[in-house]
Amino acid sequence: MGGSNVIPPMAIADPGPPGVYGTEGTPGAKNTPSGRLGAVAWTDASGNFWLFGGAGEDANENFGSLNDLWRFDAASKEWTWMSGSSTIPSYNGGQPGVYGQMLTPGTKNTPGGRTGAFGWLGGCERQPVAVRREWICIDI
- Nearest CA among 4, 7, 62, 8 for reference residue 33: 4
- In a structure prediction context, what are the per-residue pLDDT tens digits for the chain, which is 140 residues long? 555 555 554 445 556 788 999 999 999 999 999 988 889 898 888 889 999 999 988 999 888 899 999 999 999 999 999 998 999 887 777 888 888 888 788 888 878 888 877 666 655 554 434 344 444 554 44
Residue among 82, 92, 107 nearest 21 (CA): 82
Q: How many Cα neighbours within 13 Å face the side chain of 27?
A: 13
Whole-model pTM? 0.74
First-last CA distance in the chain: 22
Q: Strand ranges (DSSP E) for 26-124?
A: 36-37, 40-43, 49-57, 63-73, 78-83, 93-94
Q: For residue 27, which of 84, 72, 87 has the smallest C-alpha distance? A: 72
